Structure formats: C-alpha cells, structure tokens
Amino acid sequence: MQRRTMLLTPMLASLCSSLFPPLAAPALAQSWPSRPIRIFVPFGLGGSADVAARALQEPLGAVLGQPVIVENRPGAGAVIGTDAVAKAAPDGHTLLLMSNTHTANETLLPSRPYQLMRDLMPVAAVNIARHVLAVHPSVPAATVPELIALLRANPGRYDYASSGPGTPYHIAGEVFLAQAGVVAQHIPFRGSNEARTALVSGQVPIMFDAIPTMREQIIGGRVRGLATTGPARNALMPELPAVAETLPGYEASIWLGVMAPTGTPAAITERLNAEINGFLRRPETVAAQARAGAEPLPMTIAEFDAYLRADIVRQAEYIRMARITPT
C-alpha cells in the first residue's frame, strides 16, 4: 500500500501502535471510499492530535480498503488546516483530527474564515487526557503552592510555554493563573514539541503538557513535575497531586475528535463513527489508553454534536475567566 509518510521517532511509532489496536477488516466491499482518505491535523508533528491521527491510519485503512494519509497543516492557531477541510469536497475523503482548541477558537478567533458547527460536522470523539504542570529544574518551586508564591512575589517575571494561542495547554495556563491570582507571560510555540524543547532547555521555565510525553522528561530529571490537572490524582503519575488540591475546582484537559466537511453523506459519517467506536470500546484499547493517561470517548454522532456545542460554551467561560482577549 502506497502512502505519504513522515519520519517518526521509534518512541512515537510505538506509542501509536500501543494506543490503538488494529481494526478488523470489513466483510463487504463498498463504493466509498474510492480513493485514499486524508486526515488533516492542524497541529505540528508529535502532539496528541498527530499521534491519534497516525494511530488511526492503518486501522482505518484496513477496515475501509483504502490508504489513509495524515497531513500536518499547522499554523494560525489551527486555522490553516481546519479551513482546508472546511473547504474540501464533502465526499468522505477528507477528515479533520480536531481538539478543544477548535471549540476555544470559536471565541478566541472571531475573524477565522470558517465556523466550526456550520462548515464542519461531527464524526466521532476519540479520547480525553489530562495535563501535567512541569517546571525547569532551575525554578525554585517543588510544589504548586510554592510556584504560586513564587509567581506572586515576581509578577510578570516568569514565562510559560504552550503549543500555541488558544490550545488546551494555553487555556490551562491562563485559567491556572486566573484562579491563583498571579501573573506570568505566555510564550506560544508552533506545536508541543517546540514548547517542550524550550522547557527542557530552560528557555521557558513553566509548561502544561500531555502526561505521557512529559512523563519521560520528568522521570529523566530534565524537568520537575508539580501536579496533574484532573479532578483527582492521575493513575499514570499518582505520586503527583492534582492542581485541584491547591486550587479547588481547577480542571484542564485535551480531548480529540474527528470531523468532516458539512454535507458529507450520513451513510459515510455513520460508518466512520461505528468503526471508530468499535475499537474504542475494546478492553485492550481501554487498557492501552489508560497506560497513556487517556480515556476513550465513544459517542454517537448526536452525542458528539452536543458535546461540541457544550464545550464551545465551556471554553468561552474559561476565556472570560482568564481575561484572554479575542483576536
């Protein structure tokens, strides 16, 4: 099977294969798809959305009988890649791997060239994962209360990194600062890999990031983990407290889903929804997701639609709380 590929590190390839076990091949051939399916990822290589899309590549290709090609189209806070899908033919051959960056952008970026729920339609939710708050070892804080005290004593002196404006990691940082009543400067990067590299090198001292990827840096002593962002301690890093133990009610996560251009036939979106949900419900998939700090989110199309609309409202409230100015 011919397909466009990008070089992946062995660790990323291993993560992909462990997160998503293969799907079974379909029993009957269908007229759709008639050519390769493209999944656009509007984020950089190596982030949570990219890992999920590449994990879906071979399983969906096997079950649908056509190659699945992942195309990274980062830029403009996920707008570039998303707009490409919104303008694509609604024939089931172009999909979007999206996250709650998109629901936040509905408030943050009023001038974007598309509207999420007008120009795209839900296909399937994929998973949800919490973050870890990490600092460079040079930061004189070993706990969340110590970090808050440090930021309060030095308003605006410290920076924090994110994978870009409006991303879940950016929102997590701003809500943290708002609830703690402290100030730090946001330094956006073009993807999680660049932001993580800046943290490890000491260029930027603070970051919220995905637990599975940052966990390796914490174990290696290259950064210091302070807390995770779920409502309770995370099973993947139970030694770390939850931020909510210091800031009651604090919660931050990244969830992923698949959307298609509006007008894509219901038979196609329902088939995709059924295939994705089928392997999300497998016990081995649930176990693999837990090892990666995530939970599968199998939903019907109607449930995912309601989830998206509710999250647009939720993200708007987070943005208001954090006093982030729409651009």
pLDDT band at 18 (very low <50, low <70, confident <90, very high): low
Distance from C-alpha of 60 to C-alpha of 63, rounded to nearest angstrom: 5
Q: Answer yes or no: are the C-beta atoms of 18 and 288 closer than 8 Å.
A: yes
- State which of 245, 262, 289 marks the end of a domain: 245
Measured distance between the N- and C-terminal CA atoms of the chain, rounded to whole angstroms: 43
The pLDDT of residue 7 is above 50: no
Query: What is the domain range of residue 194?
Result: 130-245
Q: Is residue 4 part of a domain?
A: no
Q: Residue 55 CB: number of other CB atoms within 10 A?
A: 22
Give the pLDDT score at 24: 47
- Domain holding 216: CATH number? 3.40.190.10
Q: Which residue from 53, 30, 19, 101 is spatially nearest to 265, judged by alpha carbons?
A: 30
Same domain, 124 and 179: no
19-28, 33-42, 52-61, 68-77, range with the lowest pLDDT:
19-28
Based on the fold, state whether residues 193 and 276 are members of the same structural domain.
no
Predicted local distance difference test score (pLDDT) of residue 199? 97
The pLDDT mean for the chain works out to 89
pLDDT at residue number 304: 98
Q: What does the pLDDT read at residue 44? A: 83
CA distance 121 to 272: 13
Give the separation between CA 132 and CA 50, rounded to whole angstroms: 19
End of a domain among 203, 228, 245? 245
Q: How confident is the model at residue 16, as a pLDDT?
A: 56
Interval 110-117 mean pLDDT: 95
- Give the pLDDT band of residue 2 (cuts 50, 70, 90): very low
Backbone angles phi, psi at 305, to 5 degrees: -60, -45
Is there a domain that residue 5 lies in?
Answer: no
Cβ atoms of 295 and 244 closer than 8 Å: no
The answer to whether 208 touches 172, Cβ cutoff 8 Å, is yes
pLDDT band with cut points at 50, 70 and 90 for residue 95: very high
- Domain count within the chain: 2
pLDDT of residue 84: 97
Q: Positive or negative, the Cα torsion across 36, 39, 42, 44? A: negative
Decide which of 57 and 208 is more confident: 208
Q: Are residues 233 and 85 in the same domain?
A: no
- Same domain? For 123 and 266 the reply is yes
Q: What is the pLDDT of residues 24-45, one digit of tens each?
A: 444 333 589 999 999 999 988 8
**Helical packing angle, 100-108 and 168-180, nearest 10°:** 70
* Whether the Cβ atoms of residue 138 and residue 202 lie closer than 8 Å to each other: yes
Q: What does the pLDDT average to over 256-261?
A: 98
Tokens of 12: 């990323």
Question: pLDDT per residue over 172-227, tens digit each?
Answer: 999 999 999 999 999 999 888 899 999 999 999 999 998 888 988 999 999 999 99
Residue 325 has pLDDT above 60, yes or no: yes
- Mean pLDDT of all residues in 113-138: 96
Residue with tokens 């599975």: 212
User: pLDDT band at residue 280, thresholds of 50, 70 and 90?
Assistant: confident
Domain boundary pick from 245, 278, 307: 245
- 135-181: pLDDT as tens digits: 999 999 999 999 999 999 999 999 999 988 878 899 999 999 999 99
For residue 223, what pLDDT is reported? 97
Average pLDDT of the segment spanning 57-84: 92
Same-domain check for residues 98 and 148: no
